[in-house]
Amino acid sequence: MSGKHLVIVGGGVIGLSAAWRLAAAGHAVKLVDPTPGRGASWVAGGMLAPVSEAWPGEETALHLGEESLRRWPAFAEALTAEGGSPDLSTAGTLLVAFDRGDADQVDVVAEYLAKVGREAERLTSRQVRAAESGLGAVRGGLLVPGDLGVDNRKLLRALRLAASRRGVEFIEDNVTAVEPGRVRTASGELDCDVVVLAAGARSGGLHPKLAGAVRPLKGEILRLRARRSSLPPPRRTVRAVVEGRPIYLVPRVDGELVLGATQYEAGFDETVGARGVRELLEGAERVFPSVGEYELAETAAGLRAASVDTVPFIGELEPGIFAATGHHRNGLLMAPVTADAIVALLAGEEPPPGVAAAHPERLEH
């Protein structure tokens, strides 16, 4: 095949994954981002868990997530072969319930999982405590062994490395406008055959078809570290709902524990809020009381690229401009299927199953 000249707008997990796979497919790729490898992907837990992240009514996103989850092991393997590892974890997810309401919610997830043929095991209070020591007074739980996880920051570093090795040129600049075959930046312009718009929460301001369709959805996370005197983190990702607020605790191989995530409509504000931090800590202490003894190493906020119908936008916006954005809470999960889709679409081939439903044209109907 003859390679095209491409410009990727955005260096989060979607832009980096697309850049890497497109360069590997023989295209000449430039990636523009003022701070590649940062953005919302940097501020994330790293769960690859389509079902336990899905909300009722989000079946389209769920199917796309499941499709991407299946692609993750090969994606991680290919990435590791390029020299960097995302620390793919297969320890699975443990959903825990503290009261009757939580237990009902766990039942809904269990039904979902059964429907899509995914393995899951209901656990009694005693079984939960046997599976993970140190948890609070749980009523019961659900073990989801097929969920994966990555260290999002190692993933971003590995993607940058892999993209660089495949010849992707990084341009650290702000994009001010996107046109067919042309990207304008703060310091000049770049001509190309095709633009891939992967600018996350800022995509809505860069193409009229995405205006109002993609918006920022702020999220805060905390990174904690176990002390020598405290219990080590749980072995699996633990999820719960505390006082109506969903919370997750994601362990890292090095003893770090990521707590997430708040969710607010706050425009492009990326500051960390006092209440969000208090609520995350309060929730985490309820789930896993030893967290109180941990070091609070970092507080951070990011802007998810929320989609108006929770489904991402993957496909041609107009000749010469493709969208790969609007991944909502699922950017890390959906990176492999999105990168594969863009590679296929540029080659005029059939994209992976589920991608058609993510075409930006759906907004016009």
Residue 224 lies near a second copy (rule: CB under 8 A): yes
Residue 254 lies near a second copy (rule: CB under 8 A): no
What is the spatial distance between Cα 312 and Cα 355, in angstroms, rounded to a whole number? 9
Residue 272 lies near a second copy (rule: CB under 8 A): yes
Residue 294 lies near a second copy (rule: CB under 8 A): yes
Q: Which residues pair with 221 in a beta bridge?
A: 260, 300
Residue 232 lies near a second copy (rule: CB under 8 A): no
Residue 249 lies near a second copy (rule: CB under 8 A): no
Residue 292 lies near a second copy (rule: CB under 8 A): yes
- Least distance (Å) from a second copy to the CB of residue 234? 15
User: Total number of residues binding a second copy (CB under 8 A)?
Assistant: 23
Indicate left, alpha or beta for 167 from its phi (over 0: left) and psi (-120 to 50: alpha). left
Residue 205 lies near a second copy (rule: CB under 8 A): no
Binding test (CB under 8 A) with a second copy, winner from 93, 299, 325, 330: 299
- Residue whose structure tokens are 């507080």: 299
Q: Tell me which residue of 215, 208, 144 sits closest to 177, measured CA to CA.
A: 208
Residue 255 lies near a second copy (rule: CB under 8 A): no
Buried b (16+ CB within 10 A) or exposed e, 83-98: ebbbbbbeebbbbbbb
Output 301 or 306, the one with its CB closest to a second copy: 301
Q: How far is CA 165 from CA 20, 37, 342, in A?
A: 9, 15, 20
**Hey, which residues between 135 and 154 contact a second copy (CB under 8 A)?**
none
What HEC string does 19-50 produce?
A: HHHHHHCCCEEEEECCCCCCHHHCCCCCEECH
- Least distance (Å) from a second copy to the CB of residue 294? 5
* Helices 331-346 & 13-24 angle (0-180, nearest 10): 30
Please spell the DSSP secondary structure of 158-205, one letter per residue: HHHHHHHHTTPEEE---EEEEETTEEEETTEEEE-SEEEE--GGGGGG
Residue 324 lies near a second copy (rule: CB under 8 A): no
Which of these segments, 33-41, 50-58, 199-207, 277-285, binds a second copy (CB under 8 A)? Answer: 277-285
- Least distance (Å) from a second copy to the CB of residue 261? 15
Binding test (CB under 8 A) with a second copy, winner from 273, 356, 362, 363: 273
Output 295 or 350, the one with its CB closest to a second copy: 295
Beta strands in 4-161 (DSSP E): 5-9, 28-32, 47-48, 93-97, 121-124, 140-144, 148-149
Which of these segments, 14-22, 55-63, 154-162, 295-303, binds a second copy (CB under 8 A)? Answer: 295-303
Residue 288 lies near a second copy (rule: CB under 8 A): no
Which of these segments, 65-73, 177-185, 190-198, 273-281, binds a second copy (CB under 8 A)? Answer: 273-281
The first and second tokens of residue 355, run together, are 């991608």
Q: Footprint of a second copy on this chain (CB under 8 A)? A: 222, 224-225, 227, 271-275, 277-278, 281-282, 284-285, 291-297, 299
